């Protein structure tokens, strides 16, 4: 009888130890199924939504990690903190946009080419606002609010787009494609500013019942009107007479 009891006790102790081990295992964090590159990209994707909704100041590291579904420590591991994640998110965006604009705004050789390149510029920027609304919202709002991180990114990235437009306009003026312009930077500011104003006016259009720029037909019409005003304001309408002389 004693032997039976001891055998039973040994079996009971074994089961208890096994149960304790299983309980401890259940408390361990699940093993990440995603690769490091997946986690890094998840944070970049999440950053767009979180910074767009809450702004740089309002977003926390925990918000970013929770949205990405990763451990909070990975924000510092990959980006050195919230600032680094914000900068990389926007600088990558700015670099892609600048490279696209450089391809579009090559020096024009004729009025027709100048007009076409202005049209391509408008279409490129409009497409970005349609397909990347979160990133565009971050840039417009945080730069306007002079958020230090946003201003730094703007100077290091988006300002290159403006400089490319200035060079494009200067080149056209030298070739007689545009009329004489007193201030190329102010002219470029008016060209870009008028376009941006239209693309950022979505809330106002909604209030007064106008279509959204998500509507391709309306967007095409809107850009055509912008192009008409912009090109006619810049064009050298005396070029044909000068060439005849």
What digits encode the pLDDT tens for the residues 29-51? 333 435 667 999 999 999 999 99
**First CA to last CA across the chain, in angstroms?**
125
- Banded pLDDT at 8 (limits 50, 70, 90): very low
Of 39, 18, 131, nearest to 85 (Cα)? Answer: 39
Cα separation, 237 vs 176, in Å, equals 10
Domains of the chain with CATH codes: 91-236 (1.10.357.10)
SS3 for 34? coil
Q: How far is CA 115 from the centre of its chain?
A: 27
Percent of the chain at pLDDT exceeding 70: 82
pTM metric for this prediction? 0.77
Per-residue pLDDT for 28 more than 50? no
- Which residue has better confidence, 1 or 173? 173
């Amino acid at each position: 009888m004693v032997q039976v009891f001891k055998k039973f006790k040994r079996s009971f102790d074994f089961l208890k130890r096994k149960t304790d081990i299983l309980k401890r295992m259940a408390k361990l964090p699940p093993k990440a199924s995603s690769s490091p590159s997946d986690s890094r990209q998840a944070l970049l994707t999440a950053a767009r939504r979180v910074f767009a909704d809450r702004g740089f100041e309002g977003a926390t590291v925990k918000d970013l990690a929770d949205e990405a579904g990763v451990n909070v420590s990975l924000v510092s591991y990959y980006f050195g903190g919230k600032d680094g994640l914000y900068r990389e998110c926007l600088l990558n965006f700015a670099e892609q946009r600048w490279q696209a604009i450089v391809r579009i705004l090559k020096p024009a050789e004729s009025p027709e080419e100048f007009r076409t390149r202005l049209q391509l510029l408008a279409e490129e920027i409009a497409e970005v606002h349609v397909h990347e609304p979160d990133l565009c919202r971050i840039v417009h709002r945080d730069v306007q609010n002079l958020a230090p991180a946003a201003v730094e990114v703007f100077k290091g990235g988006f300002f290159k787009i403006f400089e490319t437009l200035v060079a494009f306009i200067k080149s056209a003026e030298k070739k007689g494609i545009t009329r004489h312009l007193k201030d190329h930077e102010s002219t470029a500011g008016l060209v870009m500013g008028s376009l941006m104003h239209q693309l950022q006016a979505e809330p106002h259009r909604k209030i007064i019942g106008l279509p959204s720029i998500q509507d391709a037909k309306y967007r095409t019409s809107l850009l055509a009107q912008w192009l008409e005003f912009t090109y006619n304001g810049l064009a050298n309408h005396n070029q044909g007479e000068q060439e005849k002389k």
